[in-house]
């Protein structure tokens, strides 16, 4: 089987997923190639260390179509021409791409309809309760999505949504939103050994509750500030650390001032990916109070660092990764009273925190790049009508030599 992986930009989160996919594909006797459409990231403006290391190793069967642009820059013609050439040269049996409405996924969808020579899988973490859904828009979306051959999604709620868009459960798998758990765990432990240095570098308080989020309305950070104030734990020496940035920052700072929490709430605007394990490691626990979140990768990171979490039921991780009363708490969005209660309980009960922490470290072991790779490959194999060879052929490791298949 020949598998083509197409993504807008191979950011740090995607690198370990693709590496696991490529390793498993080769081990099962398949050929895999990567097309990165844009050389620049749209959402992540700071350096992407994992991406730099990946491309620095000059991996085989990998190409970037437009080095000097990001997804927001357009370039429809160049995207279309580049993907057509890549498909013609590689002749994939299966193509896996991100989303069903990105410029490159639309091009691949059109090529799939016109050529009908490959199966097309989309990756997504959308679910039904991600904000307001409109019936007409959902019907139009279903007309497109139902013509895809399969879906690799985040969790079971996301499979249910894919099913509502016309993808049967037999043609969907979970595991899209995973992280490099081993890396995050190692880096977190290393940070604990240098806690004083980390605190000084980022001006972190001695004990804190952590929220990693964009400062936008739907993230409900104002609700978190309210709940933190109601909990009263700041009187016992706790602080709240907010890592992020966004259009609501000035409003949040005003709210912090109104509640006289200026000396108890720290805002850290930008932290590079390699530094995030340290921020999680020194926290007591993490809160994601969003009105909705498609998944919540910050909770994967929190669990990998051994820190429990409080999330809302409309976060994708709720009841999938975060289990209420097992490794954290799940509450209703917008309920500051309930959130304050859970914050107070976790902050004041060290035994509960330790139990949740141990369960968090155990729970995250399922949500690793290997889950992404296994489910992606098995779904691709089922769509391509192939099975794993009894004795996979001998092949060179990914990245061992520069291939000209996509050149």
- pLDDT average, residue stretch 327-349: 99
Under CATH, which number does the domain 181-365 receive?
A: 3.40.50.2000
CATH fold for domain 2-178+368-384: Rossmann fold (3.40.50)
> Which pair of tokens denotes residue 119?
């199966």
- The pLDDT tens digits for 39-86 are 988 665 677 889 999 999 999 999 999 998 877 777 889 999 999 999
Lowest mean pLDDT among 75-79, 177-181, 257-261, 361-365: 75-79
What is the rounded CA–CA span in Å between residue 109 and residue 121?
10
Supply the pLDDT for residue 317. Answer: 98
b vs e for 346-369, b when ≥16 Cβ sit within 10 Å of the residue's Cβ? bbeeeebbeebbebbbebbeebbb
Is the fold of 2-178+368-384 the same as that of 181-365? yes
- Beta strand ranges found along 196-315 (DSSP E): 208-212, 239-243, 265-268, 285-288, 309-312
Average pLDDT over residues 197-207: 95
- In whole angstroms, what is the distance from residue 173 CA to residue 374 CA? 10
Q: Using one digit for the tens of pLDDT, what is the confidence trace for 311-325?
A: 999 999 999 999 999
Q: Is the pLDDT of residue 8 over 50?
A: yes
pLDDT of residue 46: 72
Residue 177 confidence (pLDDT) above 50: yes
What's the pLDDT band for 192 if we cut at 50, 70, 90?
A: very high
Q: Identify whether the C-beta of residue 228 lies closer than 8 Å to the C-beta of residue 210.
A: no
Does the pLDDT of residue 396 top 70, yes or no? Answer: no
pTM for the model: 0.92
- Alpha-helical regions (H) of 69-207: 76-90, 103-115, 135-145, 156-164, 181-192, 195-202
Angle between helices 336-348 and 350-363 (to 10 degrees): 100
| Per-residue confidence (pLDDT) for residue 125, from 0 to 100 | 98
What local confidence, expressed as pLDDT, does residue 116 receive? 79
* Average pLDDT score, the chain: 93
What local confidence, expressed as pLDDT, does residue 79 receive?
Answer: 94
Of the candidates 13, 358, 375, 359, the one whose C-alpha atom is nearest the C-alpha of residue 184 is 13
CA gap 293, 316 in Å, rounded: 6
H or E element in which residue 356 lies: helix 350-363
Pull the structure tokens for residue 20: 């696991």
Where along the chain do its domains lie?
Answer: 2-178+368-384, 181-365
């Amino acid at each position: 089987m020949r598998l083509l992986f197409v993504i807008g930009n191979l950011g740090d989160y995607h690198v370990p997923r693709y590496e696991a996919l490529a390793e498993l594909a080769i081990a099962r006797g398949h050929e895999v190639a990567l097309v990165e459409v844009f050389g620049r990231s749209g959402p992540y403006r700071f350096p992407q260390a994992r991406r730099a290391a990946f491309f620095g190793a000059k991996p085989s069967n990998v190409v970037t179509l437009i080095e000097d642009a990001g997804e927001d820059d357009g370039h429809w013609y160049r995207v279309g021409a580049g993907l057509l050439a890549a498909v013609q040269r590689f002749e994939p049996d299966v193509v896996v791409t991100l989303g069903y409405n990105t410029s490159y996924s639309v091009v691949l969808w059109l090529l799939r309809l016109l050529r009908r020579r490959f199966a097309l899988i989309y990756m997504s973490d959308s679910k039904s309760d991600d904000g307001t859904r409109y019936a007409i828009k959902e019907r139009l979306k279903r007309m497109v999505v139902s013509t895809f051959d399969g879906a690799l999604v985040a969790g079971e709620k996301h499979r249910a949504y894919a099913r509502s868009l016309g993808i049967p459960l037999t043609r969907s798998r979970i595991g899209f939103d995973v992280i490099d758990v081993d890396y995050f765990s190692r880096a977190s432990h290393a940070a604990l050994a240098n806690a004083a240095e980390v605190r000084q570098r980022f001006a972190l308080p001695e004990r804190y509750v952590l929220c990693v989020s964009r400062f936008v309305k739907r993230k409900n950070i104002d609700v978190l500030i309210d709940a933190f104030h109601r909990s009263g734990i700041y009187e016992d020496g706790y602080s709240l650390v907010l890592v992020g940035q966004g259009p609501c920052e000035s409003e949040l700072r005003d709210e912090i001032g109104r509640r006289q929490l200026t000396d108890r709430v720290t805002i850290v605007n930008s932290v590079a990916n390699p530094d995030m394990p340290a921020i999680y490691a020194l926290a007591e626990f993490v809160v994601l109070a969003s009105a909705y979140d498609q998944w919540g990768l910050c909770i994967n990171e929190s669990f990998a660092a051994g820190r429990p979490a409080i999330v809302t039921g409309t976060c994708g991780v709720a009841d999938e990764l975060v289990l209420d009363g097992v490794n954290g708490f799940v509450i209703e969005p917008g309920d500051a009273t309930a959130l304050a209660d859970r914050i107070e309980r976790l902050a004041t009960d060290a035994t509960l925190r330790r139990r949740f922490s141990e369960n968090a470290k155990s729970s995250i072991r399922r949500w690793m790049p290997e889950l992404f790779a296994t489910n992606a490959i098995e779904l691709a194999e089922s769509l391509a009508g192939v099975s794993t060879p009894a004795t996979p052929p001998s092949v060179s490791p990914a990245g061992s030599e520069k291939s000209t298949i996509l050149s």
